[in-house]
Amino acid sequence: MKVIVLGGSHGGIEAVEALRLMCPNANVQWYDKGDFSSTSAKDLETIQQQGVSIFGNTEIIQIEPGKHQVEIFNHMTGESRKESYDKLILSPGAKPFIPLVPGQHLTNIGTMSSRQDLFTMRKHAADPSIKHVVIVGAGYIGTGAASLFAESGKKVTLMDINDRPLSSYLDQEFTDVLEEEMKDREVELALGNSILEFVGDENDRVVEVVTTKGTYSADLVILSAGNRPNTEWLRGSVELLPDGRIKTDEYMRTSDPDIFAIGDATTVWYHPRKMRMNVSLGTNARRQAHYAVKNLYETIHPLPGVQGSSGAHHFDYYFATTGLNDKTAKKLGIEIKSVYLEQGAALFSPEKTVMFKLVYDPTTLEILGGQIMSKVDMTAHINTVSLAIQTGCTLEQLAYADFFFQPELNTPWNVINKAGLQALLQEI
């Protein structure tokens, strides 16, 4: 069987690795329009030694499903050719959202969508000529960039259309603390704000960002305000959803049964809402890749749903989240109840505080979400909450779950137990 894989990010990498494990006799060709910068040279060499043909700076520009063939364009030579396939796995990913405003072409306006972008950002952080940095988008990427540049001594402005940083991930109890931390680091928060124009100098370098709430100096602008699926070229080849994402079933198949799709350009089953949604996480793309490969020969392995579990370490805080929060529940029209608590992270170090919030269904008392934050890394706790959501665990089960105790490491009642107990009392 000949399998072509498109995409060099999480989904594409995992699809190739899964093929080598589960379909060792398959003829695998791997294409990416970039240089596979997300994969180390050593790993690429190992993959090639396992029989995978790797083509960098080369992309699929057209699919002809009826003929089981693709048209491939080589960016290095400018030549194109046709290639046949038995099965095709697409991981086209998504591209950063660029505000359609005057000045978007100016230099020193960059995005954060690849490993190379991260290297470039770190180089900018060490550049003494860059003093003012404006970051557009206060999600994980934007807030992480703000942390890096603030620690590098830059004057940072963090901008977002929403009125709170990380508002899609954390509720206000947590973001209020993070906002104070950012202000202590002299990060200017320009929230509830929209860009009107980028202003440049005589050399076409950005110098100002004009917004609905004012004008901000900028030697560098980082755009991290979400993404859009990279799927325009697929129209007419496979069925797309209204937002441009690829329509797939639970087996990762597109409208053509021999074409599979994974990653940020697709949707997944979201357990807390019991519906298909876009949840753009590398972990989801890798999980999808495994199931696409599992179903190449026979479609009998439906992809388990996800909870949207994620976490980060910005400034001095570690935080993680899974499932529903206040904002997501309101957006989806789901009734929830919750409890919030703060306690010492461990019996022998009560001065180290952990913040925790548990979200549940007020009718069934099933767990629907959770958030945790501390200056101590307790993010792994959120994996337990994720599993509780996936298995339909109730408050009673979570409150009395058997968690270990060591005075140096935690408390006699684990913070998750304590939240469950508090929620049960709330329901009496």
pLDDT in tens, 243-285: 999 999 999 999 999 999 999 999 999 999 889 999 989 999 9
pLDDT of res. 231:
96
Q: What is the 3-state secondary structure (H, E, C) of the chain?
A: CEEEEECCCHHHHHHHHHHHHHCCCCEEEEECCCCCCCCCHHHHHHHHHCCCEEECCEEEEEEEHHHCEEEEEECCCCCEEEEECCEEEECCCEEECCCCCCCCCCECEEECCCHHHHHHHHHHHCCCCCCEEEEECCCHHHHHHHHHHHHCCCEEEEEECCCCCCCCCCCHHHHHHHHHHHHHCCCEEEECCCEEEEEECCCCEEEEEEECCEEEECCEEEECCCEEECCHHHECCECECCCCCECCCCCCECCCCCEEECCCCCCEEECCCCEEECCCCHHHHHHHHHHHHHCCCCCCCCCCCECCCEEEEECCEEEEEEECCHHHHHHHCCCCEEEEEEEEEECCEEEEEEEEEEEECCCCCEEEEEEEEECCCCCCHHHHHHHHHHCCCEHHHHHCCCCCCCCCCCCCCCHHHHHHHHHHHHHC
User: 359 or 350: which carries more pLDDT confidence?
Assistant: 359
Round to whole Å and give the CA distance between 358 and 322: 10
Q: Is the pLDDT of residue 332 over 80?
A: yes
Q: Is the pLDDT of residue 226 over 90?
A: no
pLDDT of res. 9:
85
pLDDT of res. 8:
86
Percent of the chain with pLDDT over 70: 99
Question: How sure is the predictor about 188, in pLDDT bands with cuts at 50, 70 and 90?
Answer: very high
pLDDT in tens, 281-314: 999 999 999 999 999 999 999 999 999 999 999 9
pLDDT, mean of residues 96-102: 90
pLDDT of res. 114:
72
pLDDT of res. 156:
97
pLDDT of res. 174:
98
| Strands of the sheet with 2-6, listed across from one edge | 53-55, 27-31, 2-6, 87-90, 259-261
Out of 13-17, 37-41, 46-50, least confident range: 37-41
pLDDT of res. 122:
87
Tokens of 247: 């329509």
pLDDT of res. 354:
96
Question: How sure is the predictor about 112, in pLDDT bands with cuts at 50, 70 and 90?
Answer: confident
Question: How sure is the predictor about 139, in pLDDT bands with cuts at 50, 70 and 90?
Answer: very high
pLDDT, mean of residues 419-425: 97
Question: How sure is the predictor about 12, in pLDDT bands with cuts at 50, 70 and 90?
Answer: very high
pLDDT of res. 35:
76
pLDDT, mean of residues 62-68: 97
Computed over every residue of the chain, the mean pLDDT equals 94
Q: Are strands 206-211 and 214-217 parallel, antiparallel or unpaired?
A: antiparallel
pLDDT in tens, 198-217: 999 999 999 999 999 999 99
Question: How sure is the predictor about 235, in pLDDT bands with cuts at 50, 70 and 90?
Answer: very high
pLDDT of res. 119:
84
pLDDT, mean of residues 324-344: 96
pLDDT of res. 57:
93
pLDDT in tens, 82-95: 999 999 999 999 98
pLDDT in tens, 386-410: 999 999 999 999 999 999 999 888 8
**Residues in Cβ contact with 24 at an 8 Å cutoff, skipping those fewer than 6 apart:** none
pLDDT of res. 117:
80
Q: Is the pLDDT of residue 40 over 80?
A: no
